[in-house]
Chain A
Amino acid sequence: MNPTYFLFFGIVAVLLVLLASALRTPRKRSVNQFDLTSLEQSGRRHATYFAPMQQALSRADTDFLVSRGSPKLAHRVKKERRRVVLVYLRALRSDFRSLLHLARALAVVSPVVGASQELERFRLAALFSCRYQMVLLTLHAGLLAPPQLGGLSHLVSELAVQMEVAMRELGERAVLAGRLGSSLDGGGLDISAGRR
């Protein structure tokens, strides 16, 4: 049999799967129920908790524990550090998702949407998702070296402050967008009845 025929059957199967996934009802948190308070909180969480995390990641602390404490204690600290990083990563992902959600809410209520902006966002979302999974794998495999975390802490510390300011600003700006979006909920018009 001509392999082209298999290609068509395959395409139809893929299309049917995509159709089923596209028709699923959106999650509870749709762009029409955009929660601005969660957005502001996610920025604040970094600012509040990053300083103790940075302390926990410092090489000096680890060296001190290795020289004065037992190997068991050093191992426990290492394990705890990894847990902290994992929690922090989850917070980063949460921030990323909040920003994406805000961007979608804005695009939905905007009369003009930049295709390049949307494509860029789509690309960034795909990149973030891949990298997040890779970092998780690296962490679980215990391959993440302390110097890397040290460098990271400085960068993230700066970012946390920037994010807090930006999130608040974006949240304020998007209040109107959120209100407009919520007006969609249950705001359907009966075409047939309305025009009779």
Chain B
Amino acid sequence: MANIPPVALGLWALSIIAQLAVLTLLLLKGHFRGLPLFTTYIILNLCQAGLLIIVYSRLIFASHDAQVLFWFSEAITLIAQAFAATEILHHVLRPYRGIWALAWRLLAITSSAVVLYVAASAKEDPDWILMIASRGFHLTFTIATVSCLLLIRFYEIPVHRVYKALLTGFCLFSCSIVIADTLLPILRARHNMHYAAIWNSLALAVFVVVQIVWTVALREPLTVPRDLAVLPATYARISPEINLRLRALNEVLCKFWKLEAPRS
């Protein structure tokens, strides 16, 4: 592992320690029962770290085989990350079944749109296809998560501090990957000698900070709101009526300014 930049090596070691702390808290506090997919994500990340220690101790850091193994393990952890974040969003919205139904539709629409864009852009630059795919995944992930959080905010649904910390961590980490993956071709084109170290260190530094934030957050007990009793027919009856009133109020404003009334 001598060919790995020392800064990246140090940050990598720190990230492993931080992830072990997160896993310990998940197990000791019993959070793994409520968040099994998130726990799996942390375990898979640790397994990836273990695999890469073996790979980099036997192969050269920048070799083709090492890169193939890295991207293979990365794909698994990325899928786990998506499932873990969805699990947390589901925990937040579980008592609000109607809003959850809206949220997963929003997740599907935003994800599909960004995935299509990424697929199109990956075709244009086949040399950087893995980097573009990675950036595309993280961009999709962040847009979908932020969209859901905005929806939650719009309906003024309370989100527990722990869930806020976990989702923020995921988003910050994904944003750092988008920045790092965008910076890499720029640095390489400018013949910067340390492009690989900068790329590695940027994402790893944010990852370490995120793990520390998670460690602090997971010291608290996890709570979920009680499942609500529901009013199946009330929404269907009242919601159109409210929209009618809102439209009427809009029409009043139209008369003020001679605007065309909104079509019902």
By a beta-carbon cutoff of 8 Å, the part of chain A in contact with chain B is: 1, 4-5, 8-9, 11-12, 15-16, 18-19, 21-24, 26-27, 30-32, 89, 92, 95-96, 99-100, 102-104, 106-115, 117-118, 120-122, 124-125, 127-128, 131-132, 134-135, 138, 144, 148, 151-152, 155-156, 159, 162-163, 166, 170, 173-174, 176-177, 180-181, 183-184, 187-193, 195-196
Contacts and interface: CB of A to CB of B under 8 A. Distances in A.
B248 to A, nearest CB: 6
B3 interface: no
Contacts of B105: 115
B240 interface: yes
Given A92-B253, A131-B259, A180-B231, 4 more contacts: A19-B142, A23-B153, A107-B239, A192-B31
A180 B223 contact: no
Nearest to A184: B225
A146 to B, nearest CB: 13
A170 B171 contact: no
A19 B230 CA distance: 30
Nearest to B135: A8
B249 A173 contact: no
B113 interface: no
Given A31-B155, A99-B242, A107-B99, A188 B225 contact: yes
A24 B143 contact: no
Contacts of A156: 252
B157 A31 contact: yes
B195 to A, nearest CB: 14
B257 A131 contact: yes
Contact of A159 (B186, B235, B252, B258): B252
Given A132-B253, A191-B222, A107 B235 contact: yes
A-B complex: 8 closest residue pairs judged by Cβ atoms: A113-B98, A188-B223, A192-B30, A110-B235, A191-B34, A22-B149, A131-B253, A30-B156
Contacts of A176: 231, 234
B95 interface: yes
A142 to B, nearest CB: 14
B70 to A, nearest CB: 22
Given A112-B235, A192-B31, A23 B168 contact: yes
Contact of A192 (B186, B222, B242, B258): B222
B182 interface: yes
17 contacts: A1-B186, A8-B135, A9-B182, A19-B149, A89-B256, A107-B155, A110-B98, A112-B97, A112-B101, A125-B246, A135-B256, A148-B256, A152-B256, A174-B234, A184-B95, A191-B31, A195-B33
Contacts of A1: 186
Contacts of B142: 12, 15, 19
A21 B248 CA distance: 30
B8 to A, nearest CB: 22
A10 B223 CA distance: 36
Given A23-B168, A170-B238, A170-B241, A96 B246 contact: yes
Contact of A8 (B160, B178, B259): B178
B250 A177 contact: no
A111 B171 contact: no
Interface of B: 29-31, 33-34, 95-99, 101-102, 105, 121, 135, 139, 142-143, 146, 149-150, 152-160, 164, 168, 171-172, 175, 178-179, 182, 185-186, 221-226, 228-232, 234-243, 245-259, 262
A102 B242 contact: yes
A160 to B, nearest CB: 10
Contact of B249 (A113, A128, A152): A128
B33 A189 contact: no
A27 B154 CA distance: 11
Contacts of A115: 102, 105
B139 to A, nearest CB: 7
Contact of A112 (B175, B185, B232, B252): B232
B228 A184 contact: yes
Nearest to B98: A113
A100 B157 contact: no
A108 B154 CA distance: 11
A118 B102 contact: yes
